[in-house]
């Protein structure tokens, strides 16, 4: 079953984007630049294995690993096999991949090395930049001197730039290399089963769309709080922080799916344009980033029985940077549908209880009939991201007092998805279908929204608070 199977009656996605047609969307070689890195090893290679398990007809794909390491063929195949075995990929897929894979040492910032890689790949290749962002930017510069075969796809990881200006500059560079519809800015949250499920829940049911607006919705919360701490990633995280790491990319993408207008077709053009409309209309609540945002950093504490040191004392952290590990921003979407509805986006590390969900809170009933007693809380629809679940919190008549109000939650686990999120991302890349890729203009919009907050924080207009690891954040914050 594909993630879009509810809409299986719709034709195949139209890849005509703003008038330009994709010549041949099928990718013959996946070139993994940065093949020895963490992303490649822990997420991409396992996801490719899972994709080939689910869709064995793809097993002819060539995997060309490339990186700084001077690895011989045996070292590479051992590395690949270890990664696939750890992910419990089937022996058939492992054998198939080992039969078609190869590795080349390369400096990916060198045009000559990139040219060699492209020539070694069967057309059309997908170049997946599993590299530090600064190296990816240099590799893109170097690609200007490389003749890319028709149909080449470029795949970029987050963070896409560091602000509006750098994201625009990167877009401009990429536009000289391949057309927009072959530029895949990855946000793997868009491949998560629960996030994809927003499409089915919203558009394959009659009951939600009529109330999905400011007449009936009080507020929307998009929360991704995790127990994980820094986990040795100071080099990246200490420069990013929770706002850039989570809200600028993943949570804004989820918000766009929650708030967008219904699409005529789940196609790359329609879906990405509908998301773009929302992101263009989004801004910090009341136009005041200082009061519409909060930030905090964890101090030493206990997360689920695990002693966690003060963030500032973690190896590789520069405490003077004031990096936040918990961020919250309240946004508004300037449109008829959403005017006046706060969208609260929040993400934190080292919390006591993980909470990863989209919560749509509905307005109170206009009148509670006399005779019904008890607290009448708002209805809530909750989409939980891992373990995937959906819940509808409702008021019903009580058990002991039949006229008293009781609260029930209609909840069910959702199927976890046929593939890990990166499997869905890779399926799109190999098909040349940018449905789940972030369009260049929306990457810039996300920075526009977040840059306003970063500016206020740089001026210290929003204080950096502290919370003990293992709690849900500073006292007084809504959870």
Write out the catalytic residue numbers: 250
Question: Could you tell me the two tokens for 190?
Answer: 């868009």
Residue for token pair 């994809």: 196
Contact 141, 129 (CB under 8 A): no
Number of neighbours of residue 455 by Cβ within 10 angstroms: 13
Owner of token pair 């686990």 = 413
Residue labelled with tokens 């504490």: 301
**36, 197, 361, 442: which one contacts ligand NDP (CB under 6 A)?**
36
Q: Which is nearer to ligand NDP, 204 or 228 (CB)?
A: 228
Whole-number minimum distance, CB 44 to ligand NDP, in Å?
Answer: 9
Nearer to ligand NDP, 101 or 267 (CB): 101
Backbone angles phi, psi at 432, to 5 degrees: 65, 30
Minimum CB separation from ligand NDP for residue 255, in Å?
19
Q: Which is nearer to ligand NDP, 292 or 450 (CB)?
A: 450
Report in angstroms the alpha-carbon separations of 159 from 129, 147, 345, 456.
Answer: 12, 26, 18, 21
Q: What kind and span of H or E run contains 262?
A: none
Specify the residue for token string 């072959």: 182
Residue tagged 């927003």 (tokens): 198
Q: Considering beta carbons, is residue 104 or 219 the nearer one to ligand NDP?
A: 104
Closest CB 448 distance from ligand NDP, rounded Å: 21
Nearer to ligand NDP, 236 or 362 (CB): 236
- Near ligand NDP by CB under 6 A: residue from 17, 30, 126, 131: 131
Number of Cα atoms under 13 Å in the Cβ half of residue 426: 29
- The Cα 68–Cα 295 span in angstroms is 38
CB of 404 to ligand NDP, least distance (A): 49
Q: Minimum Å distance from CB 106 to ligand NDP? A: 6
> Residue 473: which of 357, 361, 327, 333 has the closest Cα?
327
Given the DSSP bridges, would you call strands 343-348 and 217-225 parallel, antiparallel or unpaired? parallel
User: Which phi and psi (to 5°) does residue 224 adopt?
Assistant: -135, 85
Kindly give, in sequence order, each residue whose CB lies less than 8 Å from that of residue 68, ignoring residues fewer than 6 positions away: 36, 105, 106, 107
How far, in Å, CA of 67 to CA of 44, rounded? Answer: 15
Of 102, 109, 261, 335, the one binding ligand NDP (CB under 6 A) is: 109
Judged by DSSP in three states, 154 sits in strand
Minimum distance from CB of 72 to ligand NDP (Å)? Answer: 15
How far apart are CB 385 and ligand NDP at their closest, in Å? 16
Residues between 78 and 107 that touch ligand NDP (CB under 6 A): 106-107
Query: What is the phi/psi pair of residue 368, to 5°?
Result: -100, 120
Q: How many CB atoms lie within 10 A of CB 231?
A: 9
Question: Which residues, 6 or more positions from 458, have their beta carbon under 8 angstroms from its beta carbon?
Answer: none
Q: Would you say 117 or 266 has its CB closer to ligand NDP?
A: 117
Closest-by-Cβ residue to ligand NDP is 37
Six-digit token pair at 132? Answer: 């530090």
List binders of ligand NDP among 150-209 (CB under 6 A): 157-158
Is residue 133 close enough to count as binding ligand NDP by CB under 6 A? Answer: yes
Hey, CA dihedral for 268, 159, 385, 464, is it positive or negative?
Answer: negative
Going residue by residue from 40 to 79, which x/- string records binding to ligand NDP, judged by CB under 6 A? ---------------------------xxx----------
Considering the complex, what minimum distance in angstroms separates the CB of residue 230 from ligand NDP?
A: 13
Q: Which is nearer to ligand NDP, 119 or 459 (CB)?
A: 119
Pick the closer one to ligand NDP by CB: 146 or 260. Answer: 146
Report the alpha-carbon distance of residue 315 to residue 306 in Å, rounded: 17
Write the interaction track for ligand NDP spanning residues 212-241; mark x where CB under 6 A is met and - where it is not: ------------------------x-----
Considering all CA atoms of the chain, what is the largest pairwise distance in Å, rounded to the nearest integer? Answer: 80
Record the tokens describing residue 125, joined without a space.
């290749």
Q: Please give the size of the binding site for ligand NDP, defined by CB under 6 A.
A: 20
Nearer to ligand NDP, 131 or 359 (CB): 131
Interface segment toward ligand NDP; rule CB under 6 A; list 129-137, 141-149, 325-333, 366-374 = 129-137
CB of residue 33 vs ligand NDP: minimum separation in angstroms? 6
User: DSSP secondary-structure letter at 291?
Assistant: T
**Residues lying near ligand NDP in the complex (CB under 6 A):** 34, 36-39, 67-69, 106-109, 130-133, 135, 157-158, 236
């Amino acid at each position: 079953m594909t993630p879009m199977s509810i809409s299986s009656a719709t034709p195949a996605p139209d890849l005509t984007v703003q008038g330009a047609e994709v010549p041949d969307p099928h990718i013959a070689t996946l070139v993994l630049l940065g093949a020895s890195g963490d992303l490649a090893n822990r997420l991409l290679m396992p996801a490719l294995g899972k994709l080939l398990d689910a869709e064995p007809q793809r097993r002819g794909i060539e995997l060309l690993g490339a990186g700084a390491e001077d690895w011989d063929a045996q070292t590479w195949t051992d590395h690949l096999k270890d990664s696939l075995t750890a992910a419990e990929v089937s022996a058939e897929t492992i054998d198939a991949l080992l039969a078609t894979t190869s590795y080349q040492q390369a400096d990916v910032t060198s045009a000559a090395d990139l040219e060699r890689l492209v020539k070694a790949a069967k057309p059309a290749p997908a170049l997946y930049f599993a590299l530090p962002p600064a190296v990816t930017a240099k590799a893109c510069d170097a690609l200007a001197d490389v003749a890319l075969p028709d149909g080449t796809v470029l795949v970029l990881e987050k963070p896409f730039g560091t602000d509006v200006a750098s994201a625009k500059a990167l877009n401009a560079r990429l536009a000289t290399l391949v057309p927009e519809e072959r530029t895949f800015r990855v946000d793997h949250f868009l491949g998560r089963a629960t996030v994809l499920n927003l499409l089915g829940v919203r558009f394959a049911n009659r009951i939600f769309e009529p109330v999905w607006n400011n007449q009936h919705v009080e507020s929307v919360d998009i929360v991704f709080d995790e127990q994980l701490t820094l986990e040795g990633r100071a080099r990246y995280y200490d420069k990013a922080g929770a706002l850039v790491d989570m809200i600028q990319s993943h949570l804004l993408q989820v918000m766009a799916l929650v708030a967008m207008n219904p699409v005529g077709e789940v196609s790359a053009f329609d879906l990405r344009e509908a998301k773009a409309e929302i992101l263009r209309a989004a801004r910090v609540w009341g136009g005041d980033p200082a009061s519409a945002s909060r930030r905090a950093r964890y101090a030493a504490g206990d997360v689920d029985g695990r002693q966690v040191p003060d963030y500032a004392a973690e190896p590789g952290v520069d405490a003077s940077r004031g990096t936040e590990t918990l961020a919250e921003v309240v946004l508004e979407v300037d449109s008829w549908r959403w005017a006046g509805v706060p969208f609260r986006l929040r993400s934190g590390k080292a919390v006591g209880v993980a909470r990863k969900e989209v919560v749509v809170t509905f307005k109170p009933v206009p009148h509670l009939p006399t005779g019904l007693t008890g607290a009448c809380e708002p209805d809530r629809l909750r989409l939980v991201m891992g373990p995937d679940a959906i819940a509808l919190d409702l008021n019903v008549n009580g058990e002991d007092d039949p006229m008293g109000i009781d609260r029930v939650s209609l909840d069910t686990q959702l199927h976890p998805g046929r593939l890990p999120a990166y499997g869905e991302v890779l399926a799109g890349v190999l098909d040349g279908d940018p449905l789940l890729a972030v369009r260049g203009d929306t990457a810039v919009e996300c920075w526009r929204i977040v840059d306003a907050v970063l500016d206020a924080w740089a001026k210290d207009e929003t204080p950096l608070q502290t919370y003990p690891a293992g709690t849900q954040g500073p006292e007084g914050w809504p959870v």
